Structures are given as C-alpha cells and as structure tokens.
Amino acid sequence: MKKFIDAHCHLFDCDLPDNIGAIVNATRPSEWGAVIDLTRNNTNICGAIGVHPWYVADLTAGWDEQLQDLLIQNPDIMVGEIGLDKYKPDMDLQIHVFSRQLEIAAELGRGAHVHCVGTWDKMFAILKRYKSKMPPFILFHRFSGNGVDVVRLCADYNVYFSFWDSVRVISDVPISRILIETDSDNPLGVVAVAEQIAENVNCDFYKNTMGMLKNG
C-alpha cells in the first residue's frame, strides 16, 4: 500500500485511513494540548506545537517556558507552526517570538515548521544569527520564496520545502527536499496534491515524510 503523508496540516479530529499520515501543527497555546493528544493516540500522526506569527500579540508571560516544558515531556513533538508574516502587525514581536522558538527547537533537537510570507530578508538575518546552533531541520511550509532563496537555504541549512500545488519555484528545489501538504483540516486531499506535483516534476512522492523528517 502506498503511503501518503501530509507534511503540514491543522487536524484536530482524527479519522485517517492506514495509507494517510499527517504532521499536525498547532498555531497557539490553546491548541497545544489537542495536538499532543492526537499524536499519543494515533500512530499515523506526528505533531508540532508553537506560536504562529498571527497570534504573537495574544501571548502571556511564561509562554516560552510552557512550550519548552511540553516539548521536554513529549520528545517526539516538533516545533511549529512558527515564523514571520509581513501582512500582520507587531513585526518586532514576531521576530522575538520566532527567534525564541528557534532557540528552543535547537536546544531540544526538534525540527521546526516555518511560515514565511514576504519577510525573507528578515528570515535570512535571523537564520544567519543562529547558524551555529540550528534545529536539526527546518521545513518551510507552503514555500513562497524564489529560486535564489532555495539555493541559499540549501547551501547553508538542512531545509525541506512543502507545497500544496505545482508553483513555478518547485522546479528549483532538489527533489529530495520537496514534500507535500494540504495546509488544511483534511489530510485526505494530500493524495491529489501528490499526484499533481509528481506529474509536474516527474517524480514519485510516495515516501514516508515523517520518517524523513525524524531522521533529518
């Protein structure tokens, strides 16, 4: 049976067939517990908990200690969804929260699932600052950079790129670094995504993404 893995989704009510797996990302503290419970109760789900840039203004004191404690208690959980978004306010706060989560991911040896929209200059500056101590891998979900960004990222970091359709830049990404996603609450759609992308880049994406990412 071919295995399809949704590398990035937001699922909170699991009923997946055996051939579908998913990496479920939380976006704020109120979702962390639900994602952890899903991973404990479903062998075909991996989880990531973090603070999405859209929700940094809602954080309360001690959020990072809470995140770190939960990650220590759950060694298979990754860090995500984190990142930067130019269309949202509080950019200085976004940078602070993202940087802190990147530090936690590196300290605990967890992969980081990253959202980056229109802020690649700031993203590269942060990555350069932490280059000597990075997470074991970074997944740029729904990647929106360009071919030059791909070259820079692949040269300096252990990165993967996930896509939900066949965007132009996908041809610039090494096949071994391409993953598929739905960015939805329905990982079943990943089958159609896999078929579309495989046809456009002449490659078979029936791989166990969770295993690839866990092994870095």
Name the residue ranges covered by the structural domains of the chain.
Answer: 4-12+19-214
Q: Residue 208's pLDDT is what? A: 45
**Kind of pairing, strands 78-85 and 159-163?**
unpaired
Mean pLDDT in consecutive groups of 10 residues from the start of the chain, 216 residues: 88 84 97 95 94 98 98 98 97 98 98 98 98 97 95 97 89 92 94 87 58 52
The listed CATH number (3.30.930.10, 3.40.50.300, 3.40.630.30, 3.20.20.140) that belongs to domain 4-12+19-214: 3.20.20.140
Q: What crossing angle do the helices spanning 91-108 and 63-73 adopt, rounded to 10°?
A: 30
Q: Residue 16's pLDDT is what? A: 87
Total-model pTM: 0.92
Q: Residue 191's pLDDT is what? A: 92
CA atoms within 13 A on the CB side of 198: 12
Residue 101's closest CA among 76, 135, 131, 72? Answer: 135
25, 113 in Cβ contact below 8 A?
yes
Q: What are the C-alpha distances in Å from 23 to residues 5, 77, 125, 149?
A: 8, 10, 27, 24
